[in-house]
Amino acid sequence: MSAANFLRYLRTTHGKAGKATTRTAAGDMPDAVDPDALPALETLCDTMGYGTPGARLLLTGEAADRSEALRAAALGLRWAGLDGGQILAVLENNPHAWEVALAHRHDDADRARAYLWKHHAGKAAAEVTTTCLDVVALFDVVTAAALPDADPKAPRAGGLQWATVGQFCADETRLEWFVHGVLPEAELCAVFGASGAGKTFFVLHLVAAIAKGGTFYGIEAAQAPVAVVALEGVHGFRDRLRAYSTRHGAVPNLHIAHGTLNLREPGSEREIVPHLQAIGPRGLLVVDTMAQATPGADENSGKDMGAVVARIKAIHRRTGWAVLLVAHSGKDARAGLRGWSGIKAALDCEIEVIRTAGYRAATISKLKDGAGEGNEFRFDIETVVLGADRTGAVLVERGSSQFEPGTPAPAKPQGKNQEAVFAAFEQHQQGGAIARAELLRHATGALVGTGKPRDRAREALEGLCRPGGALVADGDVVLRTPSGFTGGSGGAIAWG
């Protein structure tokens, strides 16, 4: 339920009782609070709602009634979780709120501060109680501009931008690329795969090309600063970076952060935003891995992960930097990266990394805009000697294949037996592959009760591995068929 609908529900249910009338005295003015210890103003206004009168006053100074907007700001800050002293610190350090206070007290600074406390910060702290009616009273003021009964002529911050067809099509803004056809300079992208597939090797190879302005599989990369938040396997990442530098030379323009981060916590973006802004107005932020950046989160919960996605989008909005998540795949690799499906919907680009018995590969499984979806980039991992008793590893390109538009996607399993066998493959595969003998064993177990389960398993596997089928047999290994793959092992393979 949206905030506005929730408010309508409260008004409908409790509106006849009117506003709460019991009030508590504001009390003595508190000691000064260090403004640097407070959440960023943008974070507070996010919570208050950018379209509310209080947020507009604090951010722009705009308000039809500045006194009423100041009251709304104080109540909104209380709703955002601040106490009276913290609210006072925000207001007296905000130039727009302070200007209103000075105007009310004839430019007397001491009296202006007392005014902010008595009539706004202290009153907001005292007014907000835990009763439902007080919540309604609070929201009546804080969200007045967002509700249907607000003045329809009042301008809103943000929101929709209207244009004629001619005006809209005249906009020459185009999608920019870090690596054309591979990684767009977009809001949110992800690289995912099973543990051990080679995700971090692939990501390091990709972002190093961007940081250096080099080439990636023969494609020129647009040079841009890169920041990597390394939260998983820091020592291994350090050795991989050393190995890359040993093989390919130093990587300028690459910034590393390590330690702990929890993007579930409000204000956690302050660990990132100022540093990116100091580096430059655009670049690529890599978070490795999403699981380590969201400790304690229910990965399947829209509530938990939706808040994380919103915080990541806020980082993009405030810095102009694109964000690339490194994530794990789920049990069903066909569903993409692990967790809440809303994350995949929010992605501008998704790249899957797999490991087989013969090679590793990264495939562009989703590209919202531009050509490139289905393209595959194969690679190996080679050891690099870093010292007498120390080694690292580095990605070595093996080549790429371009997906041809119109190539049919791999066929889906046909019938209950194929579906059961394919489900067994998905359950037991590692990095998109499984030994053929092992798969036959699991397939037979999945068809127990069908009558001659081993024969039924062979038949299902032969069907799945026909040209264009969902699986392909490569020697003693069975792989998930990549998008655009037109070969096939055929159904004549002996399945033991």
Average pLDDT, the chain: 80
Domain 415-480 indexed as CATH 1.10.540: no
* Residue 318 CA, distance from chain mean position: 14
Please identify, in words, the CATH class of the domain defined by 177-401. alpha beta
Distance CA 183, CA 415 (A): 38
pLDDT of residue 332: 61
Provide the pairing of β-strand 183-184 with 177-179. antiparallel
pLDDT of residue 334: 59
Give per-residue pLDDT as tens, 212-222: 999 999 999 99
289 prior amide bond cis, ω within 30:
yes
User: Based on the number of CB atoms within 10 Å of its own CB, is 216 exposed (0-12), middle (13-18) or buried (19 or more)?
Assistant: buried
Distance CA 241, CA 233 (A): 12
- The list of the chain residues with pLDDT below 50 reads 1-2, 4-5, 8-26, 130-157, 405-406, 484-493
Q: Which two tokens mark 416?
A: 């209950």
User: Which of these, 213, 234, 214, lies nearest to 225 by C-alpha position?
Assistant: 213
Collapsing DSSP to helix, strand or coil, 404 comes out as: coil
The domain ranges of the chain are: 3-146, 177-401, 415-480
Distance CA 208, CA 202 (A): 10
pLDDT of residue 160: 75
pTM above 0.85, yes or no: no
